[in-house]
């Protein structure tokens, strides 16, 4: 596990990020979910930046909590960590995506009523169609506007990490066993494909 550099006398500028400082070492570590994950796997920040294709300075801002990545960069970070470690990596290890929400009791309600509106070829809309979830009902349960859900379903607007977390958490409360990767690509698909390919080659 990488240790952390003694940042004195510059520690004050990082105080708001709740930086963890360890003396006589080489790296600055942050008390954020993403940086705790990095340290748990023993990955160097520069190595992670290189492998994921994310700018090193941007990665520092992610690690400190100053900036939150979009879905595309989250997927890059997940894949980069997977390539370095060779271990299966979940996007929820880097950020809270609502997957820890306990499953609620699935009951018959208007969310299961047939939806007669337009359907789209996005992962999110395919998931809703497969599970028979009415988008209008989901919007009310989150809560958000129907227009916002429509934009996500059509692909006209990308998800933010906060929005993924809200959707996943809501669906799990409704009794659906869902992960973030079921509604958007967060870098886990390639890992599954590689493992399946490796099993086939055996």
Per-residue pLDDT of 153-170, as tens digits, reads 999 999 999 999 999 999
54, 79 contact by CB (below 8 A) = no
In the predicted model, residues of the chain with pLDDT beneath 70 are 1-26, 107-110, 191-202
Alpha helices in the chain (DSSP H): 33-40, 45-52, 56-64, 71-85, 123-131, 135-141, 146-154, 161-173, 189-201
Q: Dump pLDDT digits (tens) for 70-111.
A: 999 999 999 999 999 999 999 999 999 999 999 998 765 557
Please tell me the pTM assigned to this model.
0.80
Q: How far is CA 149 from CA 16, 124, 133, 155, 168, in A?
A: 34, 10, 12, 10, 13
């Amino acid at each position: 596990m990488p240790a952390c550099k003694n940042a004195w006398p510059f520690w004050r500028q990082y105080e708001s990020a709740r930086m963890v400082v360890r003396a006589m070492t080489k790296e600055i570590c942050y008390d954020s979910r993403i940086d705790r994950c990095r340290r748990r796997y023993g990955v160097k920040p520069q190595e992670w930046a290189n492998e994921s294709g994310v700018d090193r300075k941007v990665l520092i801002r992610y690690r400190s909590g100053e900036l939150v990545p979009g879905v595309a960069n989250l997927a890059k970070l997940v894949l980069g960590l997977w390539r370095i470690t060779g271990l299966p990596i979940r996007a929820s290890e880097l950020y809270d995506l609502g997957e820890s929400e306990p499953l609620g009791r699935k009951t018959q309600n208007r969310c299961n009523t047939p939806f007669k509106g337009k359907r789209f070829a996005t992962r999110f809309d395919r998931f809703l169609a497969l599970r028979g979830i009415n988008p209008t009902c989901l919007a009310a349960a989150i809560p958000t506007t129907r227009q916002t859900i429509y934009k996500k379903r059509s692909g006209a607007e990308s998800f933010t990490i906060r929005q993924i977390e809200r959707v996943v958490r809501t669906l799990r409360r409704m009794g659906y066993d869902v992960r973030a990767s079921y509604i958007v690509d967060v870098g886990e698909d390639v890992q599954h494909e590689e493992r399946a390919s490796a099993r086939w080659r055996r």
